[in-house]
Amino acid sequence: MAKVLIPLAEGFEEIEAVCLIDVLRRAKIEVVIAGVGAINIAGAHDIQIQTECLLSEIHSKDLDMILLPGGWGGTKAMADDPDVMRLLEEMDADKKLIGAICAAPFVLNKAGVLKYNYTCYPSVEEQIREEGYTQEHSVVTDDNIMTSRGPGTAICFGLAIVEKLKDTQTAEALKEGLLAEYC
Amino acid sequence: MAKVLIPLAEGFEEIEAVCLIDVLRRAKIEVVIAGVGAINIAGAHDIQIQTECLLSEIHSKDLDMILLPGGWGGTKAMADDPDVMRLLEEMDADKKLIGAICAAPFVLNKAGVLKYNYTCYPSVEEQIREEGYTQEHSVVTDDNIMTSRGPGTAICFGLAIVEKLKDTQTAEALKEGLLAEYC
């Protein structure tokens, strides 16, 4: 069973984090929710989620993917966290999957793991790079890096990850069950 | 400022609850997250949310709307909870807004507050009534009762509530910011 780490740092975007965790768990993918600096983490809209462990306890060798929710507060906290940086570098060196949505591709860029083609929340590309950025697709995959745009694309991003880690049939069945025919 | 109560009971559907809280708070609507029977509540996909108070502490006179997320576990727990039933009856008697998504219209029906036209998660209508049920719309409003279908329609439901409690302009601006052009 694939194992995916989703770190939550204070100020994370709640719709993005929860859509990703929920959709992946519906697909029977193991998701570890880890707190950056604390166990109880408040999102950008003050929804408190109790994580399952501290990010500092996580080893990249146990993971198949690391997946970052957006929200500027959470994104900046992750970009400043040495454990997030180390995990991203190790996962990329091992050619493992890395995902980020909304503002969080900024963190991948800072860690030097973002590939050429990517997407992110509109205007965040100004703090990453214009080249290679597209807003034409909800999800962009380049090599081992998957990126997506924002709250409204989070379910679709989850389904694209399910397709990658499991198969198209599982993703299609989930899409129908979620009533997300727009993905 | 409008004040909306969102009760969480064990087994609630996390995407639905979090999309509704997040979208309403983006619109500067006051949202109270209250736990049914406990403060820390685990959702259907084992995401733990720390609520802000117990539902038993809430008085309907302080509220403008009560809004129920789905998930079968949470729905059944709410349908069995005397405080949920009492609040629904009081809100309806005062002609205040009541909303429910996915399986949760079942709770409104049990409390006797569901009006003729409604929607819900496909097949849940078999446990409510076929008459008046539609799957043609993401959101159905009949009198003071608003219903919606499932995780994939939760952002759109939140926007419809913003339009009702605030105005169309606020809802349209949020829709754009959320990248939810499919709503």
* Amino acid, single-letter form, for residue B42: A
Residues in chain A: 183
Whether residue A3 is predicted with pLDDT greater than 90 in this model: the reply is yes
Give me the active site residues of B, please: 102
CB count in 10 Å sphere of residue A154: 30
The rounded mean pLDDT for chain B is 98
Strand A65-68, strand A48-50: pairing: unpaired
Provide DSSP, B66-112: EEE---HHHHHHHHT-HHHHHHHHHHHHTT-EEEEETTTHHHHHHHT
A156 CB-side CA count, 13 A: 19
Cβ <8 Å between A47 and B46? no
Average pLDDT over residues A44-48: 98
Mean pLDDT of the B37-55 span: 98
- For chain B, give the percent of residues with pLDDT over 90: 99
- Average pLDDT value for residue range A66-84: 98
B46: left (phi over 0), alpha (psi -120 to 50) or beta: left
Residues of chain B with Cβ-Cβ distance to A152 below 8 Å are 155, 178-183
- For B51, the closest chain A residue by CA position comes to A48
- Tell me, what's the pLDDT at A46? 98
List the single residue in A15, A122, A180 with the smallest CB-CB distance to B22. Answer: A15
Q: Is residue A1 over pLDDT 90?
A: no
The enclosing H or E element of A8 equals strand A3-8
B49 touching A, CB under 8 A? yes
Q: Does the pLDDT of residue B25 top 90, yes or no?
A: yes
Task: Tell me the chain A residues in contact with residue B151 when contact means C-beta distances shorter than 8 Å.
Answer: 19, 22, 155, 178-180
Contacts A21 to B, Cβ<8 Å = 14, 45, 47
Question: Whole-number mean pLDDT of chain A?
Answer: 98
Q: Are B151 and A150 inside 8 Å of each other by CB? A: no
Give the residue extent of every domain in chain B: 3-178
Closest CA to A145 of A105, A177, A102, A183: A105
A-B interface: how many C-beta pairs under 8 angstroms?
A: 95
Answer whether residue A42 shows pLDDT above 90.
yes
A178 close contact with B: CB closer than 8 A: yes
The structure's pTM equals 0.98
Distances (CA, A) of B51 to B7, B21, B34, B95: 9, 12, 5, 27
Contact A149 B179 (CB under 8 A): yes
pLDDT for B1: 86
The CATH class of the B3-178 domain is alpha beta
